[in-house]
Each structure stands twice: as structure tokens, then as C-alpha cells.
Amino acid sequence: MNRIDQKFIELKKAKKAGFIPYVTAGDPDPKTSERIILALANAGADVIEVGIPFSDPLADGPIIQAAMQRALEAGMTVGKTLSLIAHVRAQTQTPIVLFSYLNPILKYGMKRFANDAAAAGADGVLALDMPPEESAEYVRIMKKHGLSTVFLVAPTSTDARVRRIARLSSGFIYCVSRTGVTGLTKGKFDEVERTVARIREHSAAPVAVGFGVSHRDDVRQIGRLADAVVVGSAIVRTAAEHRDDPVPHIQRFVKGLIHEKK
Amino acid sequence: MTYPDSHGHFGKYGGMFVPETIMPALEELIRVYRGARADAAFRKELAYYLREYVGRPTPLYHAERLSAMCGGAKIYLKREDLCHTGAHKINNTIGQTLITRRMGKKRVIAETGAGQHGVATAAAAALFGLECVIYMGAEDMRRQELNVFRMELMGAKVVRVESGSRTLKDAINEAMRDWVTNVSSTHYVLGSVLGPHPFPMIVRDFQKIIGQEARRQILLAEKKLPDLLVACVGGGSNSIGLFHPFLNDRSVKMAGVEAAGLGIRTGRHAARFAGGTPGTLQGTYSYVLQDDDGQIRETHSVSAGLDYAAIGPEHALLRDTGRVAYASIDDREAVSAFRTLCETEGILPALESAHAVAYAMKAARHMKRNQVIVINLSGRGDKDVQSVREYMEKNKGL
């Protein structure tokens, strides 16, 4: 069984909401990035989203844009991202989802990408600008290599779209908390409740909520509504603010997010 | 077969490669646009504004001195530079603002490179009383200072984009980010035959009037179809506008002219067909200037409006089928043609359009005197006077 599916079964048994941090691969450099990902695994991440850097991240806010820029300047590529995943996989069994814009995957070659990502130990893929309409071949190729295909549902998605997305999704469905790009702007979480309910009407898959989730209170509130919470920009920012020694700061920040106050 | 198909494909190109948040807005746009095209009242209103506000039809002018100087084919200029706000861009912005009103949205946003699309959007927004925000790269704001002020005078807010190469591509990224955020209140008036479906179709349809008029006008003037159509290709809206109504006229050859910048071999250019490969950028699958890792390369052209890493998907199809020939003209040739048109005809072309003029001048020499070329003079060059002066000072030999 795929590590993502296994993880959500465990979480369900434990009646716990999962915690899914996001980081950009190669930010600020490949070595440090590897240490950050392992620190997230050790701090209690249930799934880790690893972003493949892209020159034109039009769905990302300033924090992740800057992270991608740093990664590209440090020479990060799709191939190096997959090597990074392989290194991480040798040291932890935490499920990993690759989070990417479509073009780097196309340029690498979709079949080659699926093959190499699976071999490196990735468990799923989310292509941000790949809508269900265009994704028949993509889903077939990823599935063939045992990779889950995670899709986004937005508050603007119509019911017909939610249904179509549910059919193509595996692993989990990523519910975007609000309209907008990634970043710290707080989500309107009353809208989330409605969107999650609409997803549940069409799918039994676990639902993870992300975008604008950055505080412990958000994590707790979302954790009551959904099966998992995604935190991206807040973690990327913490790493960027402590570039020389990010690991202890990341660990402290994550513990503050997911553990009850003593 | 007519293109695009219902999901916006031109052969294998095109499509809708955007985040889910925007997809429902594109579906709404497709629906409202279809309704509008089928509505006689909409078509009548559009025709009214194109005639009374934009000043259509624009002349098809026989450039006799330019033709004589080249010593070959007869050259005609389709004078889109005489449109209100100085370029063909307004054909599309009037159409899209009418659609915006039909959708009940009160705010429009747009990207701009040379500033022409920004000015045309600002004008249309003022005309219909809509809030207007224009995204423009910092480098382009420097190159096109006057157009920035023009937009502000018409009530638009111009947002400076400092990311990436600080040109058109980065302005589109920022406009998309705004749209993702404000999608329910805002329409994104995309300025070229780029981006996700239905934009390449809608913008083409609103620009087809250029070719429809030119076809009528040349048949009246010459009693025959032209032998060659020439237009510059940034995203490709003025060229598709001229070409499209002639696509079934097999005797009419067509040339799309990209920007070769400092030369294809220098790597500092914007010639997607000469130096690019298929990929997805900003919502569409087409030819893109990218590196081996799928990262988008920086582009260069003396003209801001051609300085872009992707080309409209319909052009990619027309290139693959061989219906349109694509060529490139470098900065030096474009500036030289700019000056030639000033000197022979007293017309200042936009630097974008000067690329088409340069190509046509070369082609005319090898054609017979009874053959006819139509150049789309897509915009006027008042905005470029400063850039041309800087270029001439830096390149004294020209």
C-alpha cells in the first residue's frame, strides 16, 4: 500500500488530524534543504510536500516565490530534486508529495519523471496548473508508477468540478482555504467548512486544507474540519529567517504549531 | 476543422493550464462569451463603439514611396496605428469590457508590456466606468514612461512589477495572482492570444476585424487578394487578427515576424520558433523559450511588446502546418525600418510594427511590381521615440 494511504488510515484510527508541511526543494541550497526536510519528519510531519522550484510560480505569494528563486540560484533542478528525495527516503519513511508546476515535469518527460520520482521514493504528485480536463494521461502515468495524484479543489469550484476532481484524485484531496495565492494572508475558515463538506459529498478520500494556515489556532481549527492541515509559507519563512541554522528553529516552530500548550 | 476545440486546443497546443481557483471563472467566461456572440444586440453595440469610439474602419494605405524605394512589390499598410489610443489593442479591450459588463463584474485588471494594451484597457475601463488596475514590469515602466502617465490620467492604477526579468511575463504572473485572489469581482482583460482558453479564441475573434476590413479594402483597391501578409508576433494578436480571415485563401502567403533582439546566436532574443520548444507557460501549451530544466528563459527585444517568452498557441499550430511562415528581425533592422518609414512616408511605426516593416522591405525586393504586400502597422511609434533615440546614441554606426 502507498505510504500516503497507510498514513491516513493510521491517523483515522488515532482520531488525529494530520500535519503536512511544505518546503521548496533546494532552498536555500540542496544540503540544507535535506536537513530541513528531515527535521520536519522528526518534528512530527505526517506527510511532507516538497516543491520543485519554477521560474514563474504564478500561484505562489512572495515568500514561496523568493524560496524558489533561492533554490534556482543554488542550481536546483528537477533531477537534483529527485536525488534529494532519494537521500531523504533513505533516512525516513514519512510520505512525500512532489508539488510542481507542470512545465518542469513536461520538460523532464512525464513518463521519465513518474519513473524516477517513484524510484526515488516519492509517494504522490500535485501539479498545480494541471486541471482535471487535461489530466487523463497524467493520471494514468502516475498511477502506473504507484504515485498518488493529488488535485486542488477551490472555494470557487462548482459541484460538477468537485465531482470530476474527486474521480481523478488519489492519496488525498487538497482543499484550498480561500481564493488567492500561497502566503500568510489569513483564510476565511467559515468558507473552508463549506468547501470540505462539498468535497465529502463526492469523495471518501481524505481532505487536507492549505493556503493561509500559519498559526497554532488555525491548525487546531482546520484540524477539526479536515483530515489534515497544510502549512507552507510560514515554514518557508521560518527557514529563511534562520538561514545559518534553520533546523532547531523549524523544529521549535513545528512543535509550537502542532502540540498542545503545556 | 475550426479551431479551437471545446477545451481550447489548437491541434496539440493551447488548453487551460491554470490553478483550479481560476477554472470556474474561465468556464463562466466561455459561457458568457458564447451568449454574447450569439446576441445581435451585443454585436451591434460592439460595432457601434468600434466605429464611433475607436474610429474603425482604419485605412489601408498604399505606401508608394516605401514601395518605390524597395523596388518590387506594392506595399500597403493596414493603419491600426490610427486606432484610438494608438494601436490595435483597443479592438480587444472594448470587446472584453463589454463582456465584463455582461458578467456583472466591476473591476478589470490587465498586464502590459509596451503599455499599449494597458492604455487601451484603461481607456475602455474609463469609458464604461470600471475600476482598473494595470500590472507592468519595472523595466517596461522605464522604457515606456509616457504610457504609464497616460494610463494614470485615465484613472487606472499602475502596479510596478519587480519580480523576474521585470517585463511582460512577470506582469502576467502578477495579474494572474491578482485574478486568483479577486476572481469573483474581477475580469482579467488579457491582451494577446495567450494564456488559458478561452483567451486565445476571444482575443483572436475581437482582432479578426483587422483582416476582415483589409480583405474588403484590398479587393476594392487592387481587384485581387494580396500575395503576402506581414505582421509582427509578440503574443500574436495583431498578426492573427490580420491573418485569420485569409487562412482559406490558399494563394495568400503570410509571414509572422518575431524579435531576434541582439541576434538568435547571442541567446538574447524573443524568437520562440527559432529558439524555443513546446511547453506550458501562463496557462497555455505552446512554443516557449526555456532551458533544459523547463525554467523560462529571459528574453530581449528593443520593443517591449515583443519581449515575451511564449507565443500564442494558434501560431504554434499555423507554424506546424506550414500555413504561416515565421521569421525574425533583430533590433538593428527594426530600428532601421522605423527610420525608413519615418523618412519615406512620414509615419512613425511602433517598434513592434517596425519588425514587420523590416521583413516586408526585404521580401518586396524579390517580388514583382504587380504583386501586393499588406503590412499590419499595428501601432504608432510616439511611445518609442525615446527608446529609438537611446538606441541611436548607443549604436552610432546606424
Question: For the segment A35-61, what is each residue's pLDDT rounded down to a tens digit?
Answer: 999 999 999 999 999 999 999 999 999
C-alpha cell belonging to residue B18: 491554470
Mean pLDDT of B199-222: 98
What is the model's pLDDT at position B398?
56
What is the model's pLDDT at position B396?
78
How sure is the predictor about B271, in pLDDT bands with cuts at 50, 70 and 90?
very high
Could you give the angle at the alpha carbon of B111 between the alpha carbons of B110 and B114, nearest 5°?
125
How sure is the predictor about A188, in pLDDT bands with cuts at 50, 70 and 90?
low
> What is the model's pTM?
0.97
Which CATH architecture fits A3-11+19-258?
Alpha-Beta Barrel (3.20)
What is the model's pLDDT at position A262?
41
C-alpha cell belonging to residue A167: 474521480
Å from A62 to nearest chain B CA?
9
Mean pLDDT of B11-18: 98
How sure is the predictor about A184, in pLDDT bands with cuts at 50, 70 and 90?
confident
Annotated active-site residue A191? The verdict is: no
Alpha helices in chain A (DSSP H): 3-13, 30-42, 62-73, 78-89, 102-108, 110-120, 136-144, 159-168, 189-202, 216-225, 233-241, 246-258
Confirm or reject contact between B283 and chain A (CB < 8 A): yes
Sheet strands (E) in A55-141: 96-100, 124-127
Q: Is A158–B27 a contact, with Cβ atoms under 8 angstroms apart?
A: yes
Q: Contacts of residue A107 in chain B, CB cutoff 8 Å?
A: 277, 279, 290, 292-294
What is the model's pLDDT at position A185?
76
Q: How many CA atoms lie within 13 A of B307 on its CB side?
A: 28
Query: Is a pLDDT exceeding 70 seen at residue B129?
Result: yes
Q: What is the mean pLDDT of chain B?
A: 96
Question: For the segment A79-117, what is each residue's pLDDT rounded down to a tens digit?
Answer: 999 999 999 999 999 999 999 999 999 999 999 999 999
* Mutation target vs B (from A69, A70, A129, A174; most B CBs, 10 A cutoff): A129
How sure is the predictor about A121, in pLDDT bands with cuts at 50, 70 and 90?
very high
Query: Is a pLDDT exceeding 80 seen at residue B380?
Result: yes
**Chain A residues with CB within 8 Å of chain B CB:** 54-59, 61, 65, 72, 77-79, 101-108, 128-131, 133-134, 151-158, 161, 165, 176, 179-181
What is the model's pLDDT at position A169?
97
Question: For the segment B145-165, what is each residue's pLDDT rounded down to a tens digit?
Answer: 889 999 999 999 999 999 888
Query: Is a pLDDT exceeding 70 seen at residue B272?
Result: yes
Mean pLDDT of B53-68: 98
Of A79, A129, A179, the CB nearest to B17: A129
Å from A35 to nearest chain B CA?
24
Mean pLDDT of B129-148: 92
What is the model's pLDDT at position A254?
95
How sure is the predictor about A226, in pLDDT bands with cuts at 50, 70 and 90?
very high
Determine the residue type at B102.
R
Q: Between these two residues, B113 and B338, which has the higher pLDDT value?
A: B338
d(CA A23, CA A36): 8
Question: For the segment A230-258, what is each residue's pLDDT rounded down to a tens digit?
Answer: 999 999 999 999 988 999 999 999 999 98
How sure is the predictor about B274, in pLDDT bands with cuts at 50, 70 and 90?
very high
d(CA A131, CA B340): 48
Closest-CA residue of chain B to A54: B295
Query: Is a pLDDT exceeding 50 seen at residue B122?
Result: yes
Domain range list for chain A: 3-11+19-258
ipTM: 0.95
How sure is the predictor about A186, in pLDDT bands with cuts at 50, 70 and 90?
low
The H helix count followed by the E strand count for chain B is 16, 14
d(CA B95, CA B275): 33
Percent of chain B surpassing pLDDT 70: 99
